[in-house]
C-alpha cells in the first residue's frame, strides 16, 4: 500500500456501476482518467467481494501508471487485499480508529461528514480528508442526511485543517461554486459516470474548477 506524497483531490471520481450505461467500470475510469480526474474511489454496492477485488486490481494497474490514488469505498478488507491507497468510510461504516488498526500507517482514510460535528470528530480521529456529504440533494444517493449546501462547505472548511471535498449533486453548473466555498475538490458520480463521454465530462469539469 503506497500513499502519494501529496494527494490531489481536485477532481475526485466516485464510481457507480448502475449508472455506467453498459460500460464497465474499468472503461469509465480509463476514459475519466484521460479527461483529468485526480483521484478515484471504487464504490461497489452490488458486486460480490471477489468481483470487487478483481475489478479493484485491474483499476489499480491503470491508476498506478498515472500516479492516481485508488480509494476503496467501505471495504477495508478489499483495500488491504489490493494494496489500495486508502478507504472512504461513512458514518455507519467501520470506525476510523478500527480502520487505522487494520490498515498500514500510510493508508489514506477519508470520512463522510454529514455535519460540522462529524467533520471535527473525523479530524480529531486522524482522517486524511473529509467528504462533505451531501452538498446538494442528488438522485444518485437518496438515503443521505440533509444537504449541507455551500454554507456547510464554508463552515467545515473554516473549522478543519485537512482537505475538504464536496460530494452530492455536483456538476458543471455548480462545481465552481463548491470550490469557491473553500473545497479542495469535488467528488462526482453521475456527472462523469453517466455522461455520454466520461473523458469530455471530466475535462469540462476540470476546466470549471481549474
Q: Is residue 143 annotated as involved in ligand binding?
A: no
Active site residue 112: yes
Q: Which does 40 bind (CB under 5 to 8 A by kind): ligand TZP, Mg ion, none?
A: none
Q: Is residue 42 annotated as involved in ligand binding?
A: yes
Active site residue 43: yes
Q: Closest Cα to residue 86, out of 114, 111, 61, 62? A: 111
| Nearer Cβ to Mg ion (99/183) | 99
Query: What's the closest the beta carbon of residue 93 comes to Mg ion, in angstroms?
Result: 4
**Residue 7 region, left (φ>0) first, then alpha (ψ -120 to 50), else beta?**
beta
Tell me the three-class secondary structure of 97-132, residue by residue.
HHHHHHCCCCCEEEEEECCHHHHHHHHHCCCCEEEE
Applying CB under 5 A, the site for Mg ion has a residue count of 3
Cα distances (angstroms) measured from residue 164 to each of 4, 26, 74, 135, 185 = 17, 26, 19, 12, 7
Which residues are near ligand TZP by CB under 6 A?
14, 133-134, 138, 140-141, 144, 167-170, 188-191
| Nearer Cβ to ligand TZP (82/89) | 89
| Nearer Cβ to ligand TZP (111/191) | 191
Instruction: Please tell me the distance from the alpha carbon of residue 162 to that of residue 94, in angstroms, as a whole number.
Output: 20
Cell of 76: 477495508
User: Residue 93 interacts with Mg ion (CB under 5 A)?
Assistant: yes
CB neighbours of residue 57 within 10 Å: 15
Q: Is residue 141 annotated as involved in ligand binding?
A: yes
Q: Is residue 15 annotated as involved in ligand binding?
A: no
Q: Which does 189 bind (CB under 5 to 8 A by kind): Mg ion, ligand TZP, none?
A: ligand TZP
Query: What distance lies between CA 100 and its chain's CA centroid?
Result: 18
| Nearer Cβ to Mg ion (72/193) | 72
Q: Which residues are catalytic?
A: 43, 112, 141
Amino acid at each position: 500500500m503506497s500513499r502519494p506524497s501529496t494527494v490531489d483531490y481536485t477532481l475526485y471520481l466516485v464510481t457507480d456501476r448502475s449508472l455506467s450505461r453498459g460500460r464497465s467500470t474499468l472503461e469509465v475510469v480509463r476514459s475519466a482518467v484521460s479527461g483529468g480526474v485526480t483521484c478515484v474511489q471504487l464504490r461497489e454496492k452490488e458486486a460480490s467481494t471477489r468481483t470487487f477485488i478483481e475489478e479493484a486490481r485491474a483499476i489499480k494497474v491503470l491508476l498506478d501508471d498515472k500516479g492516481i490514488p485508488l480509494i476503496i469505498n467501505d471495504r477495508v478488507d478489499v483495500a488491504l487485499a489490493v494494496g489500495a491507497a486508502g478507504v472512504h468510510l461513512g458514518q455507519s461504516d467501520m470506525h476510523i480508529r478500527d480502520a487505522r488498526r487494520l490498515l498500514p500507517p500510510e493508508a489514506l482514510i477519508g470520512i463522510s461528514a454529514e455535519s460540522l460535528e462529524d467533520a471535527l470528530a473525523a479530524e480529531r480521529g486522524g482522517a486524511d480528508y473529509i467528504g462533505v456529504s451531501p452538498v446538494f440533494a442528488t438522485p444518485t444517493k437518496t438515503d443521505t442526511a440533509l444537504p449541507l449546501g455551500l454554507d456547510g462547505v464554508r463552515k467545515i472548511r473554516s473549522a478543519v485543517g485537512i482537505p475538504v471535498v464536496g460530494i452530492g449533486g455536483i456538476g458543471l453548473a455548480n462545481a465552481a461554486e463548491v470550490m469557491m466555498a473553500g473545497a479542495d475538490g469535488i467528488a462526482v458520480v453521475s456527472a462523469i459516470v453517466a455522461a455520454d463521454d466520461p473523458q469530455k465530462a471530466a475535462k469540462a469539469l476540470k476546466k470549471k474548477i481549474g
